[in-house]
């Protein structure tokens, strides 16, 4: 049965909190379509009190938006402790559920989540929707910030917009981690070749243009490296000004859905060698014709 959802705006440009609904029970076309329309308009949706089990979160993501991203960057270092590579382990825990030590290589890799990024831009097809579920939240601030890349594009001068049209950028997760001093073995490096995407993306249903940036963005194709890197740096600084940024304070049971084509995000630092933080992320792939059929249609 369809549910009439309402959306309460949390930021002048984007982000909305959605009215009470149990997403585990949402299978009908009408309600799924309302959620997609909400993402089109607000780019980031906040759902409270969503007690997803892992298999339920995976099933909901597939019903909402089709095929799942499973080739995560960290998979070159270790297999997922959760037993499914499509279920991103956004935590500071090891296989035994203990907090990772300060010098642990897995923790050092995870520090890259504190850089502004968009999920799976280092692959082709890249990520479209990400859905992050809060299981354990520390008793200190451990927030996530989001930046509206559509509003950032809209605010650019016309001559800058004209300059950006048609430019392509190489994205590599190895690049973003190496900016933090993380070292990959030759075998790991070989499996992280990256992908090329437009610097400006047109989002199909909303018909809005958006900057497609990330810490993974290594260079502008067909531009000299110094000029390309300066361009990317300046655009990152522009797009992450306070007027374009929303900061989400997590509660246990939160599920946040965002459109990676329209936003960047980053984790804010906290004492991750002292406090447990455990979230699960599922990301769908930006394929042209996603499988949107529902079980009860």
Residue 78: per-residue pLDDT: 64
Q: Is the pLDDT of residue 85 over 80?
A: yes
4-14 tens-digit pLDDT:
999 999 999 99
* Residue 69: DSSP 8-state: P
Measured CA to CA, the distance from residue 101 to residue 30 in angstroms comes to 46
CA torsion, points 160, 162, 168, 169, in degrees to nearest 10? Answer: 10
Q: Tokens at residue 137, please?
A: 């939240």
Q: Is the pLDDT of residue 2 over 60?
A: yes
- Which has the minimum average pLDDT: 82-91, 129-138, 148-157, 209-218? 82-91
Strands (E), 82-161: 88-91, 127-136, 144-148
pLDDT (average), residues 227-238? 98
Sign of the dihedral through C-alpha 248, 250, 253, 259: positive
What CATH number was assigned to the domain covering residues 7-285?
3.60.130.10
């Amino acid at each position: 049965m369809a549910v009439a959802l309402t959306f309460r705006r949390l930021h002048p440009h984007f982000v909305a909190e959605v009215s009470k609904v149990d997403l585990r029970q949402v299978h009908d076309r009408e309600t799924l379509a309302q959620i997609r329309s909400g993402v089109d308009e607000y780019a980031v949706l906040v759902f409270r009190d969503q007690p997803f089990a892992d298999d339920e979160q995976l099933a909901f993501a597939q019903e909402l938006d089709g095929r799942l991203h499973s080739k995560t960057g960290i998979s070159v270092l270790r297999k997922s402790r959760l037993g499914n590579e499509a279920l991103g382990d956004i935590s500071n825990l090891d296989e035994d559920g203990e907090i990772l030590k300060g010098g642990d290589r897995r923790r050092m890799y995870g520090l890259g989540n504190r850089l502004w990024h968009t999920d799976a831009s280092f692959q082709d097809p890249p990520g479209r929707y990400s859905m992050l579920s809060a299981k354990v939240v520390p008793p200190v601030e451990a927030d996530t910030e989001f930046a509206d890349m559509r509003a950032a594009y809209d605010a650019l001068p016309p001559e800058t917009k004209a300059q950006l049209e048609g430019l392509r950028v190489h994205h590599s997760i190895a690049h973003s981690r190496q900016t933090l001093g993380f070292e990959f073995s030759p075998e790991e490096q070989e499996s992280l070749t990256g992908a090329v995407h437009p610097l400006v993306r047109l989002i199909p249903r909303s018909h809005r243009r958006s900057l497609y940036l990330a810490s993974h963005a290594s260079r502008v194709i067909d531009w000299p490296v110094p000029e390309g890197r300066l361009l990317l740096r300046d655009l990152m600084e522009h797009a992450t000004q306070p007027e374009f940024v929303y900061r989400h304070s997590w509660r246990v049971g939160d599920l946040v859905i965002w459109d990676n084509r329209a936003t960047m995000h980053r984790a804010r630092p906290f004492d991750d060698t002292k406090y447990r933080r455990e979230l699960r992320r599922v990301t769908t792939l930006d394929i042209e014709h996603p499988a949107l059929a529902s079980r009860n249609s």
